[in-house]
Amino acid sequence: MAHSITLLPGDGIGPEVTKATRTVIDAAGVDISWDRHRVIGQTAVERGRPALPPDVIDSIKSTGVALKGPITTPVGKGFTSVNVQLRQRLDLYANVRPCITLPGVETPFEDTDLIIFRENTEGLYSGIETYDERLEIADSIARITKRGSERIVRFCFEYAKEHGRERVTLAHKANILKKTSGLFLDIGREVAADYPEIDFDDAIIDALCMNLVMYPEEYDCIVSTNLFGDILSDLTAGLVGGLGITAGANIGNDHAIFEAVHGSAPDIAGQNAANPTALIQSAVMMLEHIGEVAAANAINQAVTEMYREEETLTADMGGEASTSEFAEALADRVSHHTGS
């Protein structure tokens, strides 16, 4: 039976990279019935609709899974980020971002293999902000809850256990932020006690950033609160070759959205020049999530081979291929592996 999946192509390079990703998924022979929603974000606002139309939420609630391209957020004005709204409305509390060196991609380090687990719904992104006009003071509340901390740290340990990972590092700033980061650290230590088979340590965020750009190979799973996790995941994306190849997933108890770490890249949109690898790798995570493990492995293997052989790569990776040429070459390899 076909899997029902919501497809949000998004804007900027979104439609190009989602089309490329579908070509590759089709080549893997996975039967998917896509529920596509193109009117979202700025496109929806221009048509007098909410930036996050209710039919999009209804679709994801019904399918349980979405593949999503980037959706532009206006800076400093306009509507609240659709990306943030989706995570909060669907309670997608775990943002998972693997950063793994691909063979053939030139980076300062050869064997980075780590995953960032970012709490996705609270902390400084809780949306509790005020501005006192008279005093000219702005405040943002970094709300950390016991429940929110417990579930993200447990999610990280469960993921580590399932994927044979050996170590979890909790990133915090509990020396200064004694209440918020302090609570996250205390809960982290309590949860870690339930997983004696997995090594646990904690690190102060600033020292961790320095260590990550010097010895990334020492890290395995890193769990943190929303803002620290956001910054850490871009930092570690840089360690393995940048935004063109870094995948991501937003997972809750009932729903999950798979999307690349990069944004809508307006500077290269519409030119058939974007690297679709990040969304394709996000789709690999999605296929694992829906139980299509053989197809996920076939795509992963084909991506690794293409990079190892430095064949048909896009401009950001030093190649000359367009988005669609990359997708077609990858699809050929995937069909070869799956026999489809």
Catalytic residue check, 230? yes
Binding flags for ligand ATP, 298-337, as an x/- string (CB under 6 A): ------------------x---------------------
In the complex with ligand ATP, the residue whose CB is nearer, 16 or 35, is 16
Contact with ligand ATP (CB under 6 A) among 54, 267, 320, 339: 267
d(CA 72, CA 284): 24
Which helix (H) or strand (E) segment holds residue 237: the answer is helix 226-239
Q: Is 186 a catalytic residue?
A: no
Greatest pairwise CA separation for the chain in angstroms: 69
Catalytic residue among 173, 202, 219, 307: 173
Determine whether 19 is an active site residue. Answer: no
Give the residue at shortest CB distance from ligand ATP: 263
Q: Distance between CA atoms of 97 and 66, rounded to whole angstroms? A: 16
Q: How far is the CB of 322 from ligand ATP (least distance, A)?
A: 11
**Close Cβ partners of 38 (under 8 Å, ≥ 6 residues apart):** 9, 15
How many residues appear in the chain?
A: 340
3-state SS of the chain: helix, strand, coil percent to 5?
45, 20, 40
- Let me know: does 37 contact 19? Beta carbons within 8 Å: no
The answer to the question of residue 231 lying near ligand ATP (CB under 6 A) is: no
When asked if residue 249 is in the footprint of ligand ATP (CB under 6 A), the reply is no
Under the binding rule (CB under 6 A), the answer on residue 238 touching ligand ATP is no
Residue 187, interface with ligand ATP (CB under 6 A)? no
Distance between CA atoms of residues 100 and 163, nearest Å = 14
Q: Which residues are identified as catalytic?
A: 125, 173, 206, 230
Residues in the site for ligand ATP, rule: CB under 6 A?
Answer: 13, 70, 72, 243-244, 262-265, 267-268, 274-275, 278, 316
